[in-house]
Amino acid sequence: MKTKEMINHNPSSQAAFGRAVVIGSGIAGLTVARVLTDYFAQVTIIERDRRPDTPEIRRGAPQARHAHTLPVRGQTLLEKQFPGLTAELVANGAVAIKGGSEIAFFVAGEWHQVRQHGAIVSITCSRPLLEHVLYQRLLVHPKIRVIQEHGVTGLNVDRKGRKVTGVRLRGRAGLFPSLTNLPADLVVDASGRDSQTPHWLADLGYSPPQETTVNAFAGYASRLYRRPADADPSWKTLYIRPTPTSSTRGGVIIPIEGDRWHVTLIGMGADYPPTSEDGFLAFARSLPTLQLYKAIAAAEPLTEPCGYRQTQNRMRHYERLPRYLEGLLVCGDAAYTLNPVYTQGMTAAVTASLALDHTLNGHSSQHRPGDLTGLTAAFQKQLSRAMADLWQTATDQDRRWPMVEVNEQVDLAHRQRQQLVAHIAQASPQRRERTISNTGLAIGYS
Ligand SMILES: Cc1cc2nc3c(=O)[nH]c(=O)nc-3n(C[C@H](O)[C@H](O)[C@H](O)COP(=O)(O)OP(=O)(O)OC[C@H]3O[C@@H](n4cnc5c(N)ncnc54)[C@H](O)[C@@H]3O)c2cc1C
């Protein structure tokens, strides 16, 4: 397939800018890199891991061991950026799901019907498959190059310390020892939740961002199973959602490529699901409905259960830094991490790439070619606006758990606004249940 068919790049766009570097090749890094190819002459992705040739779990993205659902909104946005993506995923074993008839959704003690709008069919697959297909498509783009097995260890700046001029790299032991500096006009940090940008800014004399965290102490335990040939034909995806007033426990079964089930158990409020063989099954049996337990009890496990507990929502307030280092942008989990229970992280990553497109489009029409002055502040503010509803949805839900821990480093006016929003949300739990489902689809009460 030719590049133009695999990536929806803008053929009329001239490269207004020179060299861009993207740190990290997760969903945020890949989608941002795609957008940058419309504006920059060269885009280099730097990835600490060795990128596998086939869809595999990487050390740098351990969350891939847990079921990843891509809501319809995220899928639609990705499809626009990478036309034909859905069909390619299905050709590689991803499963097409019809909302109304094939998703069983249990919330607040009842089964609910998931309404699907239009002809959209949602797709389930492993996160490694999704990432692999995106990566392979980008690789063939003539402006993209990838430096793998190199970690970015710091930023280089101009003599006045106002502008980024590149990144410092360290290769894995014995690899390309001479490659230590890479010049760049723009650096985008998409390195995930362990991003070092706050430290890099502080080292350069800039204020690091303030943080807001909302922690409902969610925990995951996940395992792969072979999908049984005689599986219940009444659903393809099963979702049992923890609900503040009735149950801290939930779980999901999604079908993925290779005729497998990805099974994830969820416990809120530090009611963490165990990762022992017996504990995993016992937790499944304790869910408010037995459907998930019955499905896996007779199925063949393919992996050991594994756990994950770093699930707090965290917003780094890059949108209101007192002073910006020009040419440095931060997006994806590096800026906003969302409780994975609400399955919005990959959609948030794609949303960031759209915010970048919007900002670069406006910026290039108002500045002479090559001039990136002001882009950093404009992007971080645009990203903050674009992320507002995803952040609000996840944190409103989490604030309903009794043991939620909220830490806001924000000014008083902002805090008061948030308290008001939380108060309104608390007053109307039924309404919020209707507006979000973990599949990203509207739930109808039948
Ligand atoms: C348990 C769990 C379940 C989840 N389930 C869902 C779900 O169902 N649906 C959903 O949409 N989202 C889900 N998410 C969220 C989702 O995984 C992320 O939000 C999304 O992938 C965006 O991540 P990212 O690209 O910003 O970061 P990452 O995916 O973490 O990628 C960061 C990349 O940067 C690389 N890197 C890090 N530091 C450096 C460095 N210094 N130099 C070079 N490279 C570096 C890493 O190796 C990695 O490849 C889940 C998250 C967790 C933790």
What would the pLDDT profile of 280-302 be if each residue is shown by its tens digit? 999 999 999 999 999 999 999 99
Determine the pLDDT at residue 433: 36
CA distance 260 to 264: 13
Give, in order, the Cα–Cα distances in Å from 400 to each of 94, 248, 385, 444: 34, 12, 24, 22
Ligand 1: distance of its center to the CA of 62 in Å?
Answer: 8
Would you say 40 and 186 are in contact if contact means Cβ atoms under 8 Å apart? yes
Tell me which of 27, 78, 306 to substitute to probe ligand 1's pocket, judged by most ligand atoms within 8 Å of the beta carbon: 27
Q: How confident is the model at residue 175 (pLDDT cuts 50, 70, 90)?
A: low
Q: Is it the case that residue 116 has pLDDT exceeding 90?
A: no
Least confident of 182-186, 192-196, 244-248: 244-248
What is the CATH architecture assignment of 97-121+215-310?
Answer: 2-Layer Sandwich (3.30)
Residues 6+ away with beta carbon under 8 Å from 24:
45, 46, 47, 48, 60, 189, 190, 191, 192, 332, 334
Q: How confident is the model at residue 121 (pLDDT cuts 50, 70, 90)?
A: confident
Q: Which one, of 56, 52, 34, lies nearest residue 43 by Cα?
A: 34
Helices (H), 109-240: 127-139, 197-203
Long-range (24+ apart) CB contacts under 8 A made by 11-15 are 13/38, 13/39, 15/39, 15/40, 15/41, 15/143
Ligand 1: distance of its center to the CA of 148 in Å?
Answer: 16
Rounded average pLDDT over 397-418: 79
109: buried, middle or exposed (CB in 10 Å: 19+, 13-18, 0-12)?
Answer: exposed
Tell me which of 46, 180, 333, 387 to substitute to probe ligand 1's pocket, judged by most ligand atoms within 8 Å of the beta carbon: 333
Rounded average pLDDT over 300-314: 97
Ligand 1 atom at minimal distance to the Cα of residue 153: 41
- Residues with CB under 6 Å of ligand 1 are 23-29, 46-49, 60-61, 63, 66, 68-70, 151-152, 190-192, 220, 308, 332-334, 340, 343-347, 349
Determine the pLDDT at residue 426: 56
For the chain, domain boundaries: 3-76+129-213+313-430, 97-121+215-310
Tell me which of 34, 68, 311, 328 to substitute to probe ligand 1's pocket, judged by most ligand atoms within 8 Å of the beta carbon: 68
Tokens representing 221 are 């335990």
Q: Is it the case that residue 5 has pLDDT exceeding 60?
A: no
Q: Is it the case that residue 120 has pLDDT exceeding 60?
A: no
Ligand 1: distance of its center to the CA of 349 in Å?
Answer: 9
Determine the pLDDT at residue 109: 87
Q: How confident is the model at residue 440 (pLDDT cuts 50, 70, 90)?
A: very low
Q: Whose CA is nearest to atom 29 of ligand 1?
A: 26
Query: pTM (2 decimals)?
Result: 0.90
Residue 151, strand partner residues = 170
Q: Is it the case that residue 108 has pLDDT exceeding 80?
A: yes
Q: Is it the case that residue 252 has pLDDT exceeding 70?
A: yes
What would the pLDDT profile of 358-369 be if each residue is shown by its tens digit? 999 999 999 999
Ligand 1: distance of its center to the CA of 353 in Å?
Answer: 15
Ligand 1 atom at minimal distance to the Cα of residue 344: 11
CATH homologous superfamily of 3-76+129-213+313-430 equals FAD/NAD(P)-binding domain (3.50.50.60)
What would the pLDDT profile of 125-146 be if each residue is shown by its tens digit? 999 999 999 999 999 999 999 9
Determine the pLDDT at residue 434: 33
Q: What is the mean pLDDT of the chain?
A: 89
Least confident of 56-60, 251-255, 374-378, 442-446: 442-446
The residue ranking higher by pLDDT, 14 or 11, is: 14
- What percent of the chain clears pLDDT 70, i.e. is strictly above it? 85
Q: Is it the case that residue 202 has pLDDT exceeding 60?
A: yes
Across 363-367, 421-425, 434-438, which has the greatest mean pLDDT?
363-367
Q: How confident is the model at residue 117 (pLDDT cuts 50, 70, 90)?
A: low
Tokens representing 200 are 């890099």
Determine the pLDDT at residue 413: 55
Q: Which one, of 319, 325, 313, 310, lies nearest residue 410 by Cα?
A: 319
Q: Is it the case that residue 370 has pLDDT exceeding 60?
A: yes
Give, in order, the Cα–Cα distances in Å from 150 to each of 51, 134, 147, 176, 266: 11, 20, 7, 9, 34
What would the pLDDT profile of 263-285 be if each residue is shown by its tens digit? 999 999 999 999 999 999 999 99
Rounded average pLDDT over 32-51: 96
CB atoms within 10 A of CB 444: 12
Least confident of 53-67, 138-152, 310-324, 409-423: 409-423
Determine the pLDDT at residue 380: 98
What would the pLDDT profile of 379-400 be if each residue is shown by its tens digit? 999 999 999 999 999 999 999 9
Q: How confident is the model at residue 226 (pLDDT cuts 50, 70, 90)?
A: very high
Edge-to-edge order in the sheet of strand 164-171: 150-157, 164-171, 181-183
